[in-house]
A = this chain, B = another copy of it.
Amino acid sequence: MRKVHVIGSLVLALAALLPGQATAASDALPSWNDGSAKRAIVEFVEKVTKPGSPDFVPVPERIAVFDNDGTLWCEQPVPVQLYFALDRVKALAPQHPEWKTKEPFASLLKGDLKTALTGGDHALLEILMATHAGMTTVEFEQIVKDWLATAKHPKTGRLYTEMVYKPMLELLDYLRAHGFKTYIVSGGGIEFMRPWTERVYGIPPEQVVGSSIKTKFEMRDGQPVLVRLPELNFNDDKADKPVGIHQHIGRRPIAAFGNSDGDLQMLQWTTAGPGVRFCLYVHHTDAEREWAYDRQSSIGRLDKGLDEAAAKGWTVVDMKKDWKVIYPFEKVKGE
């Protein structure tokens, strides 16, 4: 442990010395407008990282957890992973002639997403299992990488990995520069995220927590493989987010970032520990640059969470007011 602390401190000392690693808040969060949200973030980080402060938190305990869909990248008009599943249904259709008449696949292949999803969770699960299982883990990783390299968002025509929130990328960097370990804790598929989170967010695969299907170890031609089975292993959403956090990380985060009621228990779990804690909700309020949705939305509903944030004094980001830019490719107004 001693050595870990020494090295951690050295990294921080070094980070402060390096050009371009200046961590003054004004430099570290340039896409954030000055306001209460930015101020709350900076105040929290300064409090827990200042040696000798009563709120000081040692480096190994600086765990920050982030939801992904709607918190780090867009989730409208439908979550990215659903577009992936739909494209996989089309790609796999020639091997499944029965899908032409079998729901939910028949509607999907006609491009009628709405009818396909009238089957609810059962239909969704069928689509997921048909497209996410049956191959090895190595094969699936390549399928995800290949898809992300070319698939485009229907509204912007941009790669999905460009549809990430620039202010949140800065926040991830800012926290890491202050000794935080940043984790994703998402309802999305863990193996759908891992192939690209390191490149896009700087979050390595071992710091991604998500939903999963079961896998099975097998020998094929003398080589071990893990085969993805059409069986749910873990649904990392709502009350199971704290379960996933405990399972993967084994210590309670001191900061949590989400955007929907699906993140509420994660934020509650985070605040329930001793010492200073930080919780933040990204509130989608910008219909022009992104989307505006909250209490009534079927995707990323933020209703109870908004009430609890108000009651508990959590930070709520108003995307329209608090963020100078949303996407990295976007031009800053007036520049």
Interface of A with B (CB < 8 Å)?
Answer: 1, 3-4, 7, 10-11, 14-15, 60, 63, 137, 173, 176-177, 181, 190-191, 194, 198-199, 202, 204-206, 208, 212, 215-217, 223-224, 226, 233, 239-240, 242-243, 246-251, 265, 268-269, 272
Contact = CB atoms under 8 A, between A and B. Distances in A.
Copies in the complex: 2
Contact of A240 (B176, B191, B198, B217): B217
A176 B15 contact: no
A198 B269 contact: no
A246 B194 CA distance: 11
A248 B202 contact: no
Contact of A7 (B15, B63, B137, B240): B15
A3 B198 contact: no
A249 B205 contact: yes
A246 B223 contact: no
Given A265-B224, A269-B224, A217 B243 contact: yes
A190 B250 contact: yes
A177 B250 CA distance: 24
B7 A250 contact: no
A199 B1 contact: yes
Contacts of A63: 206
Contacts of A240: 217
Contacts of A199: 1
Contacts of A1: 198-199, 202
A272 B223 contact: yes
Given A10-B14, A248-B206, A243 B265 contact: no
B226 A242 contact: yes
A137 B246 contact: yes
Contacts of A206: 63, 181, 206, 248-251
A243 B212 CA distance: 12
Nearest to A177: B3
A240 B224 CA distance: 12
Contacts of A176: 3-4
Contacts of A198: 1, 60
Contacts of A224: 242, 265, 268-269, 272
